[in-house]
Structure 1
Amino acid sequence: MNIKSIVFTIFVFLVIAGALLYYFLATPSFVVKEGPPKVIAVLIASDLQLSSVEGVKAGLKELNYQIDKDVIIKLNNPKGDREFTAEMARQMVASKPDLMVGLSTSASSALIEANKDAKLPLVFGDVGNFQQLGITDIKHPGGVMTGVVVDNVGVAPKRMEILKSLSPKIKTIGILLNPKHVSYQDILKSSGEGAEKLGIKLIWYEIAAKEDIAKAMAKLVKEKPDAVMTTSEALISNNPSLITPILRTAKIPSMDFNVEVGIQAGYLMVYGVSRFEIGKQSARIIDKVLKGEDPGSIPVEFASTPSLEINKALADEMGIEIPDPLLLQANKVYR
Structure 2
Amino acid sequence: MHAPKPSTHHAWHYRMLLVGIAVITLILAACGTPPPPKVYRVGVLSGLEYAAGVTDGFKAGLSELGYREGENISYDIQATNIDPVAYQRILQGFVANKVDLILAFPTEAALDAKAIAATNDIPVVFGFAQIEGVNLVKSVREPGKNLTGVRLPGPELAIKRFEVMHTIVPQAKRILVPYLRDYPIVPPQLEALRPVAAAAGVTLVELPVASPDELEAALKLQGSGDTVNVDAILQLVEPVAVTPAFFVVLGRFAAEHRLPLGGAYLSVDGYESLFGIHVDSKDIGHDAASLADKVLKGAPAGSIPVISGDSIFQINYREAQRLGLSIPAGIISEADQVLK
Against the structure 1 CA distance between its residues 217 and 58, is the aligned structure 2 distance closer, same or farther, given a 3 Å change threshold?
farther
Against the structure 1 CA distance between its residues 68 and 176, is the aligned structure 2 distance closer, same or farther, given a 3 Å change threshold?
farther
Residue 205 of structure 1 contacts residue 220 of structure 1 at CA under 8 Å; is this kept in 2? Answer: no
Against the structure 1 CA distance between its residues 167 and 110, is the aligned structure 2 distance closer, same or farther, given a 3 Å change threshold?
same
Give the counterpart letter for 2:71 in structure 1: K
Q: Aligned pair 1:247/2:254, yes or no?
A: yes
Against the structure 1 CA distance between its residues 34 and 139, is the aligned structure 2 distance closer, same or farther, given a 3 Å change threshold?
farther
Q: 2:306 aligns to what?
A: 300
Superposed displacement of residue 94, structure 1:
2.3
Residue 178 of structure 1 is aligned with which of 170, 177, 180?
Answer: 180
Residue 45 of structure 1 contacts residue 234 of structure 1 at CA under 8 Å; is this kept in 2? Answer: no
Against the structure 1 CA distance between its residues 34 and 232, is the aligned structure 2 distance closer, same or farther, given a 3 Å change threshold?
farther
Give the counterpart letter for 1:234 in structure 2: P
Residue 174 of structure 1 contacts residue 220 of structure 1 at CA under 8 Å; is this kept in 2? Answer: no
Q: 2:324 aligns to what?
A: 319
Give the counterpart letter for 1:35 in structure 2: P
Q: Deviations over 1:39-87 (max 9, x none)?
A: 1101122211211111112211222322343322212223222222222
Against the structure 1 CA distance between its residues 37 and 217, is the aligned structure 2 distance closer, same or farther, given a 3 Å change threshold?
farther
Which stretch has the larger CA shift, 131-140 or 318-327?
131-140
Give the counterpart letter for 2:111 in structure 1: S
Q: What is the rounded CA distance, in whole Å, between the counterparts of 2:201 and 2:221 in structure 1?
A: 23
Q: How does 1:1-335 map to 2 (within 5 A)?
A: 34-129=36-131, 132-220=134-222, 222=224, 223-238=228-243, 239=245, 240-257=247-264, 261=266, 266-304=272-310, 306-335=311-340
Which stretch has the larger CA shift, 208-217 or 91-100?
208-217
Against the structure 1 CA distance between its residues 137 and 66, is the aligned structure 2 distance closer, same or farther, given a 3 Å change threshold?
same
Superposed displacement of residue 220, structure 1:
4.2
Q: 2:25 aligns to what?
A: none
Superposed displacement of residue 303, structure 1:
1.4
**TM-score, normalising length from structure 1?**
0.83
Aligned identity (percent) is: 23
Against the structure 1 CA distance between its residues 72 and 224, is the aligned structure 2 distance closer, same or farther, given a 3 Å change threshold?
farther
Q: Deviations over 1:116-170 (max 9, x none)?
A: 3112111111111156244223222223111111111233222111111102212
SS at match of 1:111: helix
Residue 148 of structure 1 contacts residue 301 of structure 1 at CA under 8 Å; is this kept in 2? Answer: yes
Superposed displacement of residue 36, structure 1:
4.1
**TM-score, normalising length from structure 2?**
0.82
Residue 207 of structure 1 contacts residue 213 of structure 1 at CA under 8 Å; is this kept in 2? Answer: yes
Against the structure 1 CA distance between its residues 133 and 68, is the aligned structure 2 distance closer, same or farther, given a 3 Å change threshold?
farther
Give the counterpart letter for 1:153 in structure 2: P
Superposed displacement of residue 88, structure 1:
2.0
In structure 1, runs of 5+ residues without a counterpart are: 1-31
Please provide the CA RMSD for this pair: 2.2
Q: What is the rounded CA distance, in whole Å, between the counterparts of 2:308 and 2:205 in structure 1?
A: 30
In structure 2, runs of 5+ residues without a counterpart are: 1-33
Q: What is the rounded CA distance, in whole Å, between the counterparts of 2:263 and 2:88 in structure 1?
A: 27
Aligned length: 301
Q: What is the rounded CA distance, in whole Å, between the counterparts of 2:148 and 2:186 in structure 1?
A: 23
SS at match of 2:118: coil
Against the structure 1 CA distance between its residues 197 and 57, is the aligned structure 2 distance closer, same or farther, given a 3 Å change threshold?
same
SS at match of 1:176: strand
Q: Deviations over 1:311-335 (max 9, x none)?
A: 1111112222222222122111011
SS at match of 1:307: strand
